[in-house]
Amino acid sequence: MTKIRSFEHGHPLVRPRTRLGTLRHALARTRTAALIAVAAGVLAAGLPALSAQAAVGDGTPTDSNISFVGRWNKANASAYVPYWAGAYLRVGFTGKTVKLRQRNTIQLWASIDGRAFTSFTGSGTINLTPTALAAGNHTLIVSYRQVAGSYTGDAVFQGLVLDSGAGTFKPPPRPKLVEFVGDSITAGATSSQLAVTDYGFKVGERLGYDHTQIAIGGMCLAETTDGCWAQTTRYWMSSGGQVGTDQWDFSRYTADGVVINLGTNDKSHGVSPAAFQATYTTFLTRIRARFPNAKLFAMRTFIGRYAAETEAAVRARNAAGDAEVFYLDTTGWLPSGGLSDSVHPNDAGHQAITDRLAPILSARLTTTPAPTTAPPTTAPPTTAPPTPGAGACAVTYRKTGDWGTGAQFDVTLGNTSTVPVDGWTLTWSLPGSQRITQSWNATVTQSGAAATAVNASWNAVIPAAGSTSFGFVTDSPLGGATGFALNGSPCAVAT
């Protein structure tokens, strides 16, 4: 990330009479096109002036370091609006605190450094870090509550507020993007955090993929005489018809996988089995035209409605030469007590679905093409970087998810020395016969009970008194990992 030197470093300034004068004075001194663009955006938005150091990676909606995943309305450069369920933003930032600029009251969920999502409700400036973080690089995900039905919150992103001198950076890229298409079940209705605790969101996060839920409560697959909103019509719209009927620009992202869960509502709206099957076949055909290389997955509805017709639509597409369309038989996926009513999964139900669906998508979407050229080599450094002394590290090891047959763990690695760590390897011992099945923000390997995590390229340096984080999923919920060591030196451990 490019850093722009403070205007006031070594330059005593005369206090201007107005904020606009301050901004003009700063622009004249820096003479950079980037700062001019940012300042213009600030004035146009009517927001408080940003610090001089925020010209690059400043956290405004147009900041290229922020990844807006899903269907977003970006027509207003000072206020981006998410559509459908499960759209979110993802960004890396430095410093110890982060806040959101909001216009009017909204409910949202935020996760920092892979921790569990926390609910926030408010307007104006919303503080996402009431307890300051450790200094270092952090990753933020924010998902706004879907504006649908009786909920009319103001889901508008107007920017981040960071510490003085802090900025944003691009978070690690995610290798795939998956759309989850459905109704209220796929929107997370009746789960504790709605879209965020829905199986679609949870599967995407577990696999480390980008993901979005094209879902609204009450949706049918097919058009009905009594006016049920149908995905065959609404899927192609930017907002599904909730904010106008403009068509979505499918060039804005390319899905690697599309998972469809539809048919639960059609039955009560009088859609015949034959009509449902024909409509589903056409829907799959049209999605294939939009995403020629995507894998398409048609799920049996969890209560079994139109199961035979859904499978028949998949077989019709296979017979037409499309081998990358798959039927997912969800029989037995929901445990006893996995529904909050007769239709909607509760948190335990969504977790059970996630446990079954994630491995399927991972197997189907993961390919390893042979490299066409040899990877470049890097000459070894001529001098070794400084390393902290023995014991100059602290590890926080926390279980952040437990579904009985597995668990998610988050690890924060702190450098308690007075010099940066340039390149890190963390080793530890796992309990029992536990195996690591997935990881993120580090390359994690295992030999027997011995586990090793090696930094990614973007988080190799841990500043003095700073920290970095990574996480992984295991095949058992056992806690009690021991023997953490950073580059061979033992670390203090907290859980």
DSSP for 180-223, please give it: EEESHHHHTTTSTTGGGGSHHHHHHHHHT-EEEEEE-TT-BSS-
Task: List, in sequence order, every residue forming a beta bridge with 111; answer none if it has no partner.
Answer: 141
Tokens describing residue 386? 């400084």
% of residues, the chain, pLDDT over 70? 83
pLDDT for 248 equals: 97
At 441, is the pLDDT very low, low, confident or very high (cuts 50, 70, 90)?
confident
**378 pLDDT exceeds 60?**
no
Strand locations in 83-159 (E)? 88-94, 98-112, 118-127, 135-144
Q: What is the pLDDT of residue 367?
A: 52
Query: HSE on the CB side for 479, CA within 13 Å?
Result: 12
Tokens 């996630």 locate to 354
Residue 256 pLDDT > 90, yes or no? Answer: yes
CA 395 to CA 389: how far, in whole Å?
15
Q: What is the pLDDT of residue 406?
A: 80
**Is pLDDT of 376 > 90?**
no
Task: Answer with the residue of higher pLDDT: 427 or 367.
Answer: 427
Q: Lowest-pLDDT range, 9-18, 50-59, 242-251?
A: 9-18
Return the pLDDT at 20.
Answer: 40
Q: Is a pLDDT exceeding 70 seen at residue 384?
A: no
How far apart are alpha carbons 163 and 468 in whole angstroms?
18
Confidence band for 60, pLDDT divided at 50, 70 and 90: very high
pLDDT tens-digit series, residues 310-348: 999 999 999 999 999 999 999 999 999 999 999 999 999
pLDDT of 52 higher than 50: no
User: Interhelix angle for 19-30 vs 33-45, to 10°?
Assistant: 160
At 442 the pLDDT is: 84
Place of tokens 């390229």: 457
Residue with the bigger pLDDT between 407 and 133: it is: 133
Residue 24: the pLDDT is: 43
Average pLDDT value for residue range 417-444: 89
What is the mean predicted confidence (pLDDT) over 461-476?
87
* Confidence band for 147, pLDDT divided at 50, 70 and 90: confident
Q: Is the pLDDT of residue 257 over 90?
A: yes
The stretch 352-368 carries a mean pLDDT of 88
Q: Over pLDDT 90: what percentage of the chain?
A: 68
Distance CA 393, CA 381 (A): 24
pLDDT at 81 over 50: yes
At residue 375, does pLDDT exceed 90? no
The predicted pLDDT at position 469 comes to: 84
Q: Quickly count: other Cβ atoms within 10 Å of residue 1's Cβ.
A: 12
Condensed to tens digits (0 to 9), the pLDDT of residues 123-145 reads: 999 999 999 999 999 999 999 99
Q: Residue 472: its pLDDT value, please?
A: 86
Average pLDDT over residues 49-66: 70
The answer to whether residue 36 scores a pLDDT higher than 80 is: no
- Under the banding of pLDDT at 50, 70 and 90, the label for residue 30 is very low
Which of 86-90, 223-227, 382-386, 467-471 shows the lowest per-residue confidence on average (mean pLDDT)? 382-386
Cα distance between residue 392 and residue 488, in whole Å: 11
Report the distance separating Cα 278 and Cα 299, nearest Å: 16
- Which amino acid is located at 397 in the chain? Y
Query: Residue range 1-16: average pLDDT?
Result: 34
* pLDDT(361) > 70: yes
**pLDDT of residue 369 exceeding 60:** no
Whether 28 has a pLDDT exceeding 90, the answer reads no
35/56 Cα distance (integer angstroms):
8
In the predicted model, what is the mean pLDDT of the chain? 85
Q: Is the pLDDT at 364 greater than 70, yes or no?
A: yes
Task: Determine contact, residues 205/211, Cβ cutoff 8 Å.
Answer: yes
Q: Pick the more confident residue, 10 or 91.
A: 91
How does pLDDT run across 165-177, given as a tens digit for each residue? Answer: 999 999 999 999 9
Please tell me the least confidently modeled range out of 107-116, 183-192, 235-244, 440-449.
Answer: 440-449
pLDDT band at 298 (very low <50, low <70, confident <90, very high): very high
Residue 371 pLDDT > 80: no
Mean pLDDT for 413-430 is 92
pLDDT for position 148: 76
